[in-house]
Chains A and B, each alone.
Chain A
Amino acid sequence: MSGAEDATTRTPPAADAATPRPRWQVILVRPETVTFLFLIVATIGASWLSPFFADVRYILESFTFYFEFAIVALILTMVIISGEIDLSAASMMALSASLFGVAYQAGLGIPGAMAVSLLSGVLMGAFNGFLVINMKLPSIIVTIGTLTLFRGLAQVIAGDKSIGKFPAWFIGIDYRFVFDVPIPVIVFLIVSLILGIFLGTSAIGRQIYQIGTSPIAARHAGIRVNRIKYGLFIAMGLVSSIAGLLAASRLASVRYDLATGGELQMVLIVMLGGTYIFGGRGTILGTFLAAWLLVVIATGMTVANIPINAQLTVLGLLLIVSIIATNAIHVRTQR
């Protein structure tokens, strides 16, 4: 690089000589580090509030209530990193689960009804993708629209009654264990691991970050921005329908109001995990840790007999604090 010296001596002594950040600092400003610290503090706090809490089995079982949202939050993390958002996931869960129930009642059998449900998830995701990508509309508005639309359709299709009477083998996934660990926990671990590896090490994972950092620069670099975003929206639909089926199994019935308000919990998990709301940054590990953090806080408050309305206040504050924290970190590291 010596040749550059004489050519550039007249340029101001400058920014190109900036020293790289020390490694400890790089690790410390990783947003999921904050999530991890929160998790430890919350766990200690909860055990201190109630002796019943420090029971691993109890925590694992509590997790099965949040599991469906947590698994959707993993894909939502990737959507937000790509610079978009999808608020319609909980409604997609409800509509796909309602279709599942109706199809089962119509005599399609569980496998057929599951296929209908998964297909509907893909179609709903594609519909969101079509509006955002082809119609060039902002995803936040589109998915608020489809949030209402899908929930409404679920009500039209399933009516106001619960649909149940599923075969015994289908229901109660949260009460099945492998080596004492509930199946939902195992599923969440495996899906997190796969998505973590995909987002962190695949070429497409890299491109998702690049799209979120600058969609225009990404397009100029030959990255298939639209195709990847389409893929993410469809993945959202698919994972939502899977989550809908898991909820159906856990609840042993479906109703149009399944998972109402769940989109906010999903966003809360993603934000708690340190994903940057404006895209380009975030990790699956962060979301994974945040899912546990949410469980620890919520169940911790329950065992400590904190009333449910106070719990909402705490969660709301938590969301705001986490957004401020990640924002501060990202602004700092971007100078």
Chain B
Amino acid sequence: METATTSSAGETVISARGISKQFAGIEVLRDVDLDFRAGEIHALVGENGAGKSTFAKILSGVHRPTRGTLALRGELVEVPNPLTAQRLGITLIHQEPVSFPDLSVAENLVLGRDQGSVLGRVPWAKITRDARESMDQLGINIKVNVPMRGLSIADQQMVEIARALASDSRLIIMDEPTAPLTPIEVETLFKIVRRLRDEGRTIIFISHRLEEVRALCDRITVFRDGNLVHTGDVAAVDDEEIIRLMIGRSLKEYIHKRRTEIGEVALEVKDLCLPGLFSDISFEVRKGEIVGLAGLVGAGRTDVARAIFGITPAHSGTIAVNGKDIGVAEPTEAIALGLAFVPEDRAAAGIFQSLSVEHNITAAVPGRIAPRGFIRHALERALANEAVQKMRIRLASLRQPIGELSGGNQQKSILARWLLTDPSVLIMDEPTRGIDVGVKSEFYDMIGELAESGRAILLISSELPELLALCDRILVMSEGRLTADLSRAEATQENVMREAVPKSGVHSPTVAA
């Protein structure tokens, strides 16, 4: 591979100065100064919403900074869009590869590259030959004339890496690349990433997993609440210290000390199956118990929750609430039986963006605000007000569109909505995603209180520390199956991860029906 510019290791490739970003008036990134060197693997870590992905997107031209400058080898540059970024030699590889699934691997490889004149012929033979060469360079065996759709996530990532190399990127940003990969695939990826570094390229590696950062990276930068809080050699900090930097306090402070009486079985799921998504799911959650559901992205956790709540019902299996067997075909029925579900995708499935906070909070209890079919406003106002007080939702007015509230206050409103239905089983899917750290701890307290009041709680989370701190038991899913049921004593980060990684070695793509 011929390289236009050769950078000697250690030289600064790109430097960011005072980078800030606001979304709708909320500052998500504040005055970030950071240099990346040639020939290094640089880890960006931080909690969800800490700003690391936003920073990566600014580098790669997906977002433009509100303030601040970028310099490439000492020269100020503007990166208004991803195409410019690619021309400057910067490539972002997304966690879920964004490709054109119906185009071939070779076609995906040349996307965004100049291909001669608008009316000119497409040089298919050359494209195919080039594509094959890129694959050989990476030492991977992927057929270049098959459509992307048929490839595993890992192979799709490899194609994206090949694409970055084909356009001779000097800075490659990988946003949580290992999340959907099996251990073997992770090893292959690491090998390639190390080789890229040795060629003098810079790799920015965004990850949640400290052991990976330790195994792979040279330097580490920690983000918290939109601020850069630490940059340094990976070897110079221990895990404890990194976690403390990430969350701003020691994790141990979160650990729930409550001792709740665990009562009878509130939710019992038996042999739940939905072909292609999950199978043979059986578990129970008792009153007063917080049960965690851990697993990697795509393990089927959300699908199980959606099946229980009747959004996409399972094909077979039984669900019992408080000892009664139920057939849930619609969320309406689930709610009537005492189930509640805080969905993962708050913006699409949780809130009614443009409707008032009040209407959002009372959405699941038409019977309480409209006893005879017609809404009694005083009643509705009182219910909403009480919920706002109880959940400490910060707002200007109940008539305000809920979209104007911060993520944490939106999520509190959703929780408030469900508490009005007085559920006996509460299922929460990533309830603290995209929420400020301060509000997060409020949520942890609330979840604890809900369990104390005798409700059964099923908590899905990708943040293991959160599950370990809150849950009485942790169920682990992998590839659509339950692989473990760990008591609080047995549950450690290592134990959970061991059960969560796919055993088959074959990544089963979860095809959306």
Residues of A that sit less than 8 Å from B by CB: 1, 3-4, 7-12, 14-20, 201-204, 206-207, 209-210, 213-214, 216-224, 280-281, 333-335
**Cα of A203 to Cα of B400 in the assembled complex, Å:** 20
The reply on B268 being an interface residue by CB < 8 A is no
> Which residue on B lies nearest to A334, using beta carbons?
B354
Contact of B352 among A12, A202, A204, A213 (CB under 8 A): A213
Complex: A206 Cα to B374 Cα, angstroms:
10
Q: B74 CB to closest chain A CB, in angstroms?
A: 32
- The answer to whether B406 touches A11, judged by C-beta atoms less than 8 angstroms apart, is yes
B89 CB-CB contact with A under 8 Å: no
Residues of B within 8 Å of A206, CB to CB, are: 359, 366, 370, 375
Closest Cβ of chain B: how far from A16's Cβ, in Å? 5
Q: In whole angstroms, how far apart are the Cα atoms of A201 and B225 in the complex? A: 43
How far does the alpha carbon of A18 sit from the alpha carbon of B404 in the complex, in Å?
Answer: 7
Contacts of B209 in A (CB 8 A): none
B25 lies within 8 A of chain A by Cβ: yes
Known: A20-B396, A224-B332. A202 touches B26 (CB 8 A): no
A15 and B438 in contact (CB under 8 A), knowing A213-B352, A214-B348? no
B316 to chain A, nearest CB (A): 23
Per-position contact with A for B37-66: 1 when CB-CB < 8 Å, else 0? Answer: 000000000000000000000000000000
- What are the residues of chain B within 8 A of A334 when measuring CB–CB? 353-354, 401, 403
Give the distance to chain A from B454, nearest Cβ to Cβ, in Å.
22
The answer to whether A217 and B352 have CB atoms under 8 Å apart is: yes
- In whole Å, how far is B367's beta carbon from the nearest beta carbon of chain A? 8
* Contact B24 A15, beta carbon cutoff 8 Å: yes
Q: Measured between alpha carbons, how far is A214 from B334 in the docked complex, in Å?
A: 20
- Pick the most buried of A1, A15, A202: most chain B CB atoms within 10 A of its CB: A15
B351 near A14: Cβ-Cβ < 8 Å: no
Among the stretches B161-169, B251-259, B387-395, the one at the interface with A is: B387-395
Pairs A-B, 4 closest by C-beta atoms: A203-B370, A203-B366, A20-B397, A222-B335
Residues of B within 8 A of A207 (CB): 366
Q: How far is the CB of B447 from chain A (nearest CB, A)?
A: 15
Closest to A214 in B: B352
Give 1 or 0 for each of B350-387: 1 = CB within 8 Å of chain A CB. 11111100010001101101100111000000000000
Closest B-chain residue to A212, C-beta based? B352
In the complex, the answer to whether A8 meets B436 with C-beta atoms within 8 Å is yes
Q: Say how far B93's CB is from chain A's closest CB, in angstroms.
A: 29
**Cα distance, A124 to B513, chains bound together (Å):** 30
User: Is B409 positioned at the interface, with any CB of A under 8 Å from its CB?
Assistant: yes
Q: Are B331's CB and A222's CB within 8 A?
A: yes
State whether the Cβ of B469 lies closer than 8 Å to any Cβ in chain A: no
Instruction: State whether B375 touches A203 (Cβ < 8 A).
Output: yes
Q: Does B295 contact A (CB under 8 A)?
A: no
Residues of chain B with a CB closer than 8 A to A202's CB: 370, 373-375
Q: Which residue of B lies closest to A281 (CB)?
A: B354
14 A-B interface contacts by CB (under 8 A): A1-B389, A15-B24, A15-B26, A15-B406, A203-B366, A203-B373, A209-B359, A210-B355, A213-B352, A218-B352, A220-B309, A221-B364, A280-B355, A335-B401
Task: Give, as a whole number of angstroms, the nearest-CB distance from B383 to chain A.
Answer: 13
Using an 8 Å CB-CB cutoff, how does the interface string of B329-356 with A read, 1 for contact, 0 for none?
0111011000001010000111111110
CA distance A21 to B48 in the complex (A): 32
| Interface residue? B399 (CB, 8 A) | yes
> A3 CA to B396 CA in the complex, in Å?
16
Tell me which of A10, A213, A222, A281 has the highest count of chain B C-beta atoms within 10 A of its own C-beta.
A222
- B138 is an interface residue with CB less than 8 A from chain A: no
A217 & B351 in contact (Cβ 8 Å cutoff): yes
B contact residues around A10 at 8 Å (CB) = 225, 436-438
Asked if B341 and A220 make an inter-chain contact with CB atoms under 8 angstroms apart, the answer reads yes
With A14-B25, A220-B331, A333-B354 given, name 15 new contacts (CB 8 A).
A7-B441, A11-B225, A14-B406, A15-B405, A18-B404, A201-B374, A201-B375, A203-B374, A209-B355, A217-B349, A219-B311, A220-B311, A220-B350, A224-B330, A280-B354
Q: How far is the CA of A15 from the CA of B406 in the complex (A)?
A: 6
Asked if B366 and A20 sit within 8 Å, CB to CB, the answer is no
Identity of the chain A residue whose Cβ is nearest the Cβ of B23 in the assembled complex:
A15
Residue of B nearest to A7 (CB): B438
The CA-CA distance from A224 to B408 in the complex, in Å, is 28
Question: Cα distance A11–B25 when bound, in Å?
Answer: 12
Find residues 433-470 in chain B having any chain A CB closer than 8 Å to their own CB. 436-439, 441-442
Query: In the complex, A12 Cα to B417 Cα: how many Å?
Result: 26
Q: Smallest Cβ distance from B437 to chain A, in angstroms? A: 7
Chain A residues within an 8 Å CB radius of B311: 219-220
The residue on B at minimum CB distance from A207 is B366
Q: Is the CB of A219 within 8 A of B331?
A: yes
Given the complex, which residues of A lie within 8 Å of B401, measured CB to CB?
333-335
Contact check, B436 vs A11: say whether CB atoms are below 8 A apart: yes
Q: Report A142 CB to chain B, min CB distance, Å.
A: 22
Tell me if B313 is interfacial: C-beta within 8 Å of chain A.
no
Residues facing A in B296-317 (CB within 8 A) are 309, 311
Q: Is the CB of A210 within 8 A of B404?
A: no
Given contacts A8-B438, A11-B406, A222-B335, contact A214 B373 (CB under 8 A): no
* 8 Å CB contact of B226 from A12, A210, A218, A333: A12
CA distance A15 to B409 in the complex (A): 11
A221 CA to B349 CA, complexed, in Å: 9
- In contact, A221 and B409 (Cβ under 8 angstroms): no
For residue A18, which residues in chain B have a CB less than 8 angstroms away from its CB? Answer: 396, 400, 404
From known contacts A12-B226, A214-B353, infer whether A221 and B348 are also in contact, taking CB-CB under 8 Å.
no
Q: Check B27 for interface membership: any CB of A closer than 8 A.
A: yes
